[in-house]
Structure 1
Amino acid sequence: MSNGLRVIYAGTPDFAVPALAALIESGHEVVAVYTQPDRPAGRGRKLQPSPVKQVALDASIPVEQPVNFREEADRQTLADYNADVMVVAAYGLILPQVVLDTPKYGCLNIHGSLLPRWRGAAPIHRAIQTGDKETGVTIMQMAAGLDTGDMLLKTYYTIGAEDTGATVHDALAADGASALMTVLEQVETGTLAPEVQDESLTCYASKLTKAEAEIDWSQSAVEIDRRIRAFNPWPVAYTKQNGQAMRLLMSSVVEGEKTSAEAGTVLAENKQGIQIACGEGVISISRLQLPGKKAMSVSEFLNGRSLSGEKFPS
């Protein structure tokens, strides 16, 4: 019976928490956790630990927060942990080859897409925005390039019409934790079956920006619906109403509906949604947020308010 692996875990945001929690509960030894330096957050701009750091502190695991790995001292610290493997999930740093080579079995990455389909910073959101029917998690052996290493295991998730960036994120985070346990068992038993990525099938999932969150109503209802769901919870799609940003959090395409109304025109409203003409088709907005207010359902919004006949700018 194995005594488990000595594991260094490197991650920063919420996506990386379930896998760390699973590792702590497993028979493996988490010898150290690496995470991004504390960042200022909130109105007081006080330094806040990352979600991963908080889990590590609660479990009394040593935490390292190098700015990068250019300093020899940081590389030596990593080597001194004498890890069998380093697991990386949304860490936020590009790891140089010397780091990838330090653990006995190298570095494994929990990547939120079905490689080689989406490489880069925002694979979950771009999959929804582009209309992919399926996504998943790939556990890969890390190499020097951007998400270029051999694939070790995949899990699959069907993207539904009501899925958002948040729901898919949470599902893949949980799936990644489970998949990691399987791959670590394969590392221990020497049964890994690496698969080389087909470079011809890759797309780059560029980082999300606030600039792309404003809705262009001249686009089709299908495209706008995907964008709204993909950008929930960040950067959150919005449209201008009386010069202010009205955030759009949930939507659906009104199937079979056609209109000759100008794109951006509010066609109808009821407790189920606000129906808006698009460049092609009609979209129904079911959840939104006004400046300085909490997110609310359309039924809550329509209490004392109306957008009937209004036209949003394209």
Structure 2
Amino acid sequence: MTSVIFMGTPDFSVPVLQRVIADGYEVKAVVTQPDRPVGRKKILTPPPVKKEALKSDLKVIQPEKLSGSAELDEIIALDADLIITAAFGQLLPKKLLEAPKLGCINVHASLLPELRGGAPIHHAIIRGYDRTGITIMYMAEKLDAGDIISQREVSITDEDHVGTLHDKLSETGADLLSETLPLLIEGKAERTEQNHEQATYAWNIKREEEKIDWNRPGRDVFNQIRGLYPWPTAYTIFRDKPLKIQQARLSKGSGAPGEIIHVSDEGILFAAADDEAVLVTELQPSGKKKMPAADFLRGSNIGIGEKAQYE
């Protein structure tokens, strides 16, 4: 039986771990990030992968940082045949990359060499892609630069947001890994070097990238909103306070950028920089829970011609 060490942290990694267990591999340990304080009360909370691992009574290792740690030596001493990572959150030291006889592989949520980095799902939507996918690759010291073993494409529609695309890709990653592992173990898997000149990057989202610039085309604003939903969420400044925009639709209409040009039970229609507009259907005012835009309208006395600010 092939023995593996699984390394992952967020919800994305859970279906992948579940599939590795279901397919009958010997999981010698699950490596994940340490428990972190969550929420306003800062309750110490285990990462999703740890919760899943404990359901199967698997050994869990939680290094703050792998390089130079006692946990690194512990992982290597387990002498697993293969290391599988999926959104683990740390680069693996060379010492670990060279340890397993079958190598270290990663389940990455893009069609490499496109969108290397920590936020490929967000950036695929924000940049207006109509497709993305999963890449299973050998790991290298450089970020997401290893040789490709297998890939599978996943389409992106206007109805998708980060949450829906995340779930599609997570399940696709589990399926593709399940199909790829037997070939890898038998020495029959393909190995294709990436074209590094075509590499693009999807760095973690910064706070300034969450703010809506209504001077941009409506399509760009719409992609930004759904590319940040349900986390970390786009926002605008309205009546001098942050207003989170949870969900929206692309529509038609013209006016000054950020101007409210129509209100109805469907929502609030904001003009962008062209003849497209953005119909906000769900939002979250500062200090309140998220709500349908229609509920916000009933309690806010919003008028046509009011504007959201950018500067």
**If the TM-score is normalised by the length of the shorter chain, which range does it land in?**
over 0.9
Q: Structure 1: any 5+ residue segments left out of the alignment?
A: none
Asked if 1 retains the 8 angstrom alpha-carbon contact of 2:236 and 2:245, the reply is yes
Q: Distance in 2 between matches of 1:174 and 1:248?
A: 28
Aligned counterpart for 2:96 among listed residues 75, 99, 114: 99
Does the Cα contact within 8 Å between 1:82 and 1:103 map onto a contact in 2? yes
Query: 1:91 aligns to what SS in structure 2?
Result: coil
**In structure 2, C-alpha distance between the alignment counterparts of 1:245 and 1:217, rounded to whole Å:** 14
- Out of 42, 54, 57, the residue aligned to residue 39 of structure 2 is 42
Q: Show the counterpart of 2:309.
A: 313
Q: How many residues are matched?
A: 308
Match of residue 264, structure 1, among 237, 258, 267:
258
SS for the counterpart of 2:249 is strand
Q: Is the 8 A contact 1:262 1:277 kept in 2?
A: yes
Query: Structure 2 CA distance, aligned partners of 1:188 and 1:224?
Result: 45
Q: Give 2:283's aligned residue.
A: 288
Summarize the alignment of residues 1-314 of structure 1 with structure 2, pairs less than 5 Å apart.
3=1, 5-71=2-68, 73-254=70-251, 257-259=252-254, 261-280=255-274, 281-309=276-304, 310-314=306-310
Distance 2:105 2:54 in 1: 23
**What is the TM-score normalised by the length of structure 2?**
0.95
Offset, 1:217: 0.8
The Cα shift of 1:304 comes to: 4.0
1:81 Cα shift?
Answer: 1.3
Q: Per the alignment, in what secondary structure is the counterpart of residue 211 of structure 1?
A: helix
8 Å contact from structure 1 (residues 209, 235) kept in 2: no
CA distance in 2, matches of 1:157, 1:297: 30
Alpha-carbon distance, 1:121 to partner? 1.2
Give the whole-Å Cα distance in 2 for the aligned partners of 1:176 and 1:188: 18
- Give, in whole Å, the separation in 2 of the partners of 1:138 and 1:76: 28
Provide the rounded CA distance (Å) in 1 between the counterparts of 2:9 and 2:168: 17
Paired letter, 1:263: P
Letter in 1 for 2:307: K
Name the TM-score, length of structure 1 as normaliser: 0.94
Moved over 6 A (4+): none
- 1: CA distance between counterparts of 2:90 and 2:287? 34
Shift of 1:301: 3.0
Partner Cα separation in structure 1 for residue 272 and residue 302 of structure 2: 16
Query: What is the deviation of 1:195?
Result: 1.2
CA contact (8 A) 2:5 2:80 kept: yes
The alignment yields a C-alpha RMSD, in angstroms, of 1.4
Kindly provide the CA deviation profile for residues 58-116 of structure 1, in whole angstroms up to 9, marking residues without a partner as x. Answer: 21100111222333633321122121111101111111111111111111101010111
Fraction of identical pairs, as percent: 37
SS of 1:247's partner is: strand
Unaligned runs of 5+ in 2: none
Distance 2:291 2:72 in 1: 49
Provide closer, same or farther for how the CA distance between residues 55 and 6 of structure 1 changes in structure 2, counting only shifts above 3 A.
same
Distance 2:120 2:126 in 1: 10
Deviates more, 1:7-16 or 1:268-277: 268-277
